[in-house]
Chain A
Amino acid sequence: MKWDQPAPREQEAGDRSWNVVRSAWEARTPLPRPRRSRLPLVAIAAAVAVVAAALSPPGLAVLGSISDAVRGERNAKPALFSLPSPGKLLVVSERGVWTAAADGSRRFLGPYRDAAWSPHGLYVAVSGRTEISAVDPKGNVRWSLSRPDVSFPNWGGSRTDTRIAYLTTSRLHVVAGDGTDDVDAGGLPAAARISPAWRPGLPFVVAYADTRGRVYAYEPQTGALRWRSAPLPDPRFLQWSSDGRYVLVVTRDKLAVLRGGKAVSLRFGRVPAAAFRPGTHAVAEIRRLGATSEVLLGRRVLFRGTGEFRQLAWSPDGRWLLVTWPTADQWIFVRVAGGRRIVAVSSITEQFGGGAFPSVAGWCC
């Protein structure tokens, strides 16, 4: 090529990249226009108003209500008496792994560090420091494999054929659902410390991120690499859409949706958690705005509160969204379909053995 000749694939690369750049641009938060001349006066006036309001009786009442907000939803139930939707939750606390059934009953499965439901909720894959196991919902161990530094099990497949992907240190492993044929996905780059994600259905395709943030779609049965993405540094979470067409990637400062390895949507900004709504391509996400957190579905704000929202988990039917709220030690269930409704539950940490605020590892069928 000469200096003025196009480089190979210049045109199509430009078209693809324009789609990504446009998505990032459209999803940005525009900067407020500065109003230099008015700003000091407005700031002084606001400061005076805040001090005056805080010292007045109505002002003290407002401060009280803010304090209430930090304490969480006012009409929260004192304990998890039931789930608002069918299904069962898998919870990982400092003490170990628990299940919570629709009637509110909780069962301790054992002192494990990570957990994942099998595709139809018949078993749970659990991992300790040096072991990965499959247990039934009563906690009986069906099989175990000893491996160094096991973490992030994720179980995918159909009723008749399943696989579990997991990490040992930084290697991706895949083992059959009956504990046989454990293989190290050799030749692939070292994995980032986040859970791999199975594409729904067959053939088996697992997405995982490497340490540079590239996302790979890998077929463990053939060893074929379907695609890999551009680097998305510091990845935190991967999830396929229900139809297996898109992969949601949450990183430290970006939220991307990939199709075939290419970003079809990319937005900058810190998103602590996001998740595809089951059966759709809609994404629920948490955003932080100073001391406030909010949960959005598209542009619709579903719930807002003071402090930190940490995780999102959709009910299997996609009608309810669970938001975990460590600051208030609460779970908030938000009904998204058929009219908005909020069900809050308090004292979550105590109900799962105390210690740190527990995490939700899945809401299954």
Chain B
Amino acid sequence: MAGSGREERAWIRGAQAGSVADLEALFRHHWPRAYRAAYLVVHDAAAAEDIAQESFLAAVRTLERFDRRRPFGPWLHRIVVNRAIDWSRARALRREIGEAPLAAVAATDRSDNPHARTLASALASLSPEHRAVIVLRHLLEYTPGEISELLDLPRCTVNSRLRRGLDALAALLGEDVR
């Protein structure tokens, strides 16, 4: 799991003592997965940057009170994924065109556009909630039990979202992504 271990605790200790170099090491270590997770949920690079950046700022704001015995990654990823879900829901509410034209575009993409066969594009066809559990499981490598804690969901809900999401991805991509 990214962000665990003695090295990470040393970075957090250093940052809490005021070391910018240690804070940068912590940031550089966690940025790729935080940004990637946000991107795979929202499917928008600008929004992913905003979400990951705001999540780091939220984490940094309370870093001095952070308990070093706990891993930093889950704490950060909980913020990132929940913000990404919120963003996706808000975007769905703001959509200004009906579902029919979008469905037509998606159907065309599936049959003609090779780009639609990429993982990111396939993920975009799922709901934000399904995207989030799949990203947490397969990108960030959390167990279903850890995901249920991070998202504050029952374990059975996590399992069912994983199963349905992965089935949908397999159907879209023509391969098993597990």
Chain B residues in 8 Å Cβ range of A25? 15, 20, 23, 60
CB distance from A224 to the nearest CB of B (A): 17
Flag whether B125 is at the interface (Cβ < 8 A). no
CB distance from A264 to the nearest CB of B (A): 13
Per the bound structure, the CA–CA distance linking A2 and B169 in Å amounts to: 13
Whether B20 and A31, one on each chain, are in contact in the complex, defined by CB atoms closer than 8 angstroms, is no
Q: Give chain A interface residues in 1-47, CB to chain B under 8 Å.
A: 1-3, 6-10, 13-14, 16-18, 20-22, 24-26, 28, 30-31
Chain A residues in 8 Å Cβ range of B65? 31
Per the bound structure, the CA–CA distance linking A28 and B18 in Å amounts to: 10
CB distance from A57 to the nearest CB of B (A): 43
Per the bound structure, the CA–CA distance linking A290 and B51 in Å amounts to: 33
Chain B residues in 8 Å Cβ range of A22? 20, 23-24
Flag whether A336 is at the interface (Cβ < 8 A). no
Whether A7 and B48, one on each chain, are in contact in the complex, defined by CB atoms closer than 8 angstroms, is yes
Whether A17 and B49, one on each chain, are in contact in the complex, defined by CB atoms closer than 8 angstroms, is yes
- Contact flags B13-47 to A (C-beta < 8 A → 1, else 0): 00100101001100110011001100110000100
Chain B residues in 8 Å Cβ range of A28? 60-61, 64
Contact A7:B118 (CB < 8 A) given known A13-B48, A20-B57, A21-B57: no
Chain B residues in 8 Å Cβ range of A9? 45, 49
Chain B residues in 8 Å Cβ range of A7? 35-36, 39-40, 45, 48, 120
Flag whether B52 is at the interface (Cβ < 8 A). yes
Whether A14 and B35, one on each chain, are in contact in the complex, defined by CB atoms closer than 8 angstroms, is yes
Whether B52 and A17, one on each chain, are in contact in the complex, defined by CB atoms closer than 8 angstroms, is yes
CB distance from A353 to the nearest CB of B (A): 43
Q: A21, A26, A268: which contacts B53 (Cβ < 8 A)?
A: A21
Among B15, B35, B52, max chain A CB count under 10 A is at B35
- Contact flags A154-183 to B (C-beta < 8 A → 1, else 0): 000000000000000000000000000000
Per the bound structure, the CA–CA distance linking A161 and B90 in Å amounts to: 41
Per the bound structure, the CA–CA distance linking A13 and B138 in Å amounts to: 23
- 4 A-B pairs closest in CB distance: A7-B39, A17-B53, A13-B49, A230-B50
Whether A231 and B50, one on each chain, are in contact in the complex, defined by CB atoms closer than 8 angstroms, is yes
Per the bound structure, the CA–CA distance linking A149 and B111 in Å amounts to: 52
Per the bound structure, the CA–CA distance linking A298 and B61 in Å amounts to: 21
Per the bound structure, the CA–CA distance linking A87 and B102 in Å amounts to: 58
Chain B residues in 8 Å Cβ range of A21? 23, 27, 53, 56-57, 60
Q: B36, B56, B61: which contacts A10 (Cβ < 8 A)?
A: B36
Per the bound structure, the CA–CA distance linking A16 and B120 in Å amounts to: 23
Flag whether A205 is at the interface (Cβ < 8 A). no
Flag whether B107 is at the interface (Cβ < 8 A). no
Chain A residues in 8 Å Cβ range of B20? 22, 25-26
Whether A30 and B45, one on each chain, are in contact in the complex, defined by CB atoms closer than 8 angstroms, is no
Q: A14-B28, A17-B56 are in contact. List 18 more A-B contacts (CB 8 A).
A: A3-B119, A3-B138, A6-B36, A7-B39, A7-B40, A8-B39, A9-B45, A13-B52, A14-B27, A14-B31, A17-B31, A18-B24, A21-B56, A24-B60, A28-B64, A31-B65, A231-B50, A266-B57
Whether B28 and A10, one on each chain, are in contact in the complex, defined by CB atoms closer than 8 angstroms, is no
CB distance from B147 to the nearest CB of A (A): 15
Among B39, B40, B57, max chain A CB count under 10 A is at B57
- The 20 sampled A-B contact pairs (Cβ below 8 Å) are A3-B119, A10-B31, A10-B36, A10-B39, A13-B45, A13-B49, A13-B52, A14-B35, A17-B31, A17-B49, A17-B52, A17-B53, A21-B57, A22-B24, A24-B57, A24-B60, A28-B64, A230-B49, A266-B57, A268-B61
Contact A230:B53 (CB < 8 A) given known A8-B45, A13-B45, A22-B24: yes
